[in-house]
Amino acid sequence: MTARGAAVLCAVLLLGCGLPATAVPPEEGPRTWRVGPGRSLATPSAAASVARDGDTVLIEAGTYVGDVATWTQDDLTLRGVGGRAHLRAGGESAQGKAIWVIAGDRATVDRLEFSGASVADGNGAGIRQEGTGLTVTRSWFHHNQDGLLTGADPESDIVIRRSRFFRNGAGDGYTHNLYVGAVRSLRVSGSYLWGAAVGHELKSRAARTTITGNRISDAGATASYSIDLPDGGRSLIAGNVVIQGPSSENSTLVSYGAEGFDHDSRDLWVVNNTFVNRRPAGTFVALAGSSRAHLRNNLLVGPGDLTNLAGIPARANRRVGWRTFVDPAADDFRLRRTSPAVDRGASVPKRWRARWEYVHPTRQVRRPVAGRVDLGAFERR
């Protein structure tokens, strides 16, 4: 029997050990810490020094300038309350890496904003993820050298929902809005990524990447690829609006396997996306040789080739004009009633179907099922 078990037994029986019942140590469980001006914990970094595994840290809305932190605890929940809590670097960094370095496992970051990270190495991030597993919801990353940057961890699963990544990148082509290293899986949904400086809007080296129901746009920025999956991997890109801007420095929207295949799987499904190219030429999906890609039910708007490889299985991909959509000038690519994309889709295996639609800003809804599927990112209602 453990010492704690013996103490509990003694307290119940009130015999033998000479300890009163009040001597039994209380159960220790997760705690909630409240952070904000006027509280005993005025800053998030103060909470980082006292929190334990499994705790919740609630950070009052407001701007915290120059307050950087390293979080070493596992299973933390870090949440803004009363609005979005804004962590602005103000020239500071944790470990010369980021506003926050999250070294613990399975952290959840909700309703927080990170901006201004800049370090001497040139890759200062809003968050540098070094632990195993991270979930980010309803959060913003902007004007950092890297928005969110993760390490390589084959046991790590990264989940991003309903978040914004914009105006990140140092302008060197090596820093990006979102950069996920060689992890086990990445899921991005209901999010808005736009305006990266020279780098990619989204770059993932994950063994499994799932990108569903997002808007990814260069706007007027000099971004490179909209989606870069340089190491291949088992990947699904479905139900997204992907817009290459006129100032993009690379004419490809989606790139797969460009740096060689580091994963066992070379399977890519690109299903029911609306791809928009505002450059004079380009390639919508660029594939490395020996890719096992399937391209179905995508709408192509603007010039460019669907893909660079011959013989790729491609069904029901259609080029359409601007009048197909409700308000393309405002990036509203929902279908008009008279659109030639209505009821023109081909069948897709169940596991690879587009199940979500993006709702601006940073929300997603279930894609309705009504007869034959429509082409593109939206089902006509």
Residue range 136-147, pLDDT digits in tens = 999 999 999 999
Identify whether 158 is part of a domain: no
DSSP secondary structure of 280-341: SS-EEEEE-TT-EEEEES-EEESSSEEESSTT--EES-EEE-GGGEEEGGGTEEEEPTT-TT
Q: Is residue 5 pLDDT above 60, yes or no?
A: no
Q: Is residue 230 pLDDT above 70, yes or no?
A: yes
Task: Tell me if 229 sits within 8 A of 256, measured CB to CB.
Answer: yes
Note the pLDDT of residue 370: 83
Mean pLDDT of 30-39: 98
Identify whether 364 is part of a domain: yes
351 and 247 together in one domain = yes
Structure tokens at 78: 């870090």
Q: Is residue 9 pLDDT above 60, yes or no?
A: no
17 and 124 together in one domain = no
Task: Tell me if 225 sits within 8 A of 201, measured CB to CB.
Answer: yes
37 and 146 together in one domain = yes
68 and 18 together in one domain = no
133 and 217 together in one domain = no
pLDDT tens-digit readout, 260-287? 999 999 999 999 999 999 999 999 999 9
124 and 243 together in one domain = no
Identify whether 175 is part of a domain: no
Mean pLDDT of 345-351: 98
240 and 291 together in one domain = yes
**Selection from 189, 122, 187, 197 nearest residue 166 by Cα:** 197
Note the pLDDT of residue 27: 52
79 and 14 together in one domain = no
Q: Is residue 315 pLDDT above 60, yes or no?
A: yes
Q: Is residue 1 pLDDT above 50, yes or no?
A: no
Note the pLDDT of residue 25: 38
Place of tokens 């609306």: 274
Identify whether 75 is part of a domain: yes
Identify whether 234 is part of a domain: yes
For the chain, give percent helix, strand, coil, nearest 5: 5, 40, 50
18 and 51 together in one domain = no
142 and 224 together in one domain = no
Cα-atom radius of gyration of the chain, to the nearest Å? 24
CATH number for 61: 2.160.20.10
159 membership: H or E segment, kind and range: strand 153-161
21 and 52 together in one domain = no
Phi, psi of 50 (to 5 degrees): -120, -15
Beta strands 134-137 and 107-110 are parallel
C-alpha to C-alpha distance for 39 and 53, rounded to whole angstroms: 22
Task: Tell me if 95 sits within 8 A of 70, measured CB to CB.
Answer: yes
Identify whether 186 is part of a domain: no
For residue 201, the enclosing domain spans 193-381
266 and 281 together in one domain = yes
Note the pLDDT of residue 21: 32
Examine the fold and report which residue of 150, 181, 203 is the final residue of a domain before the chain moves on.
150
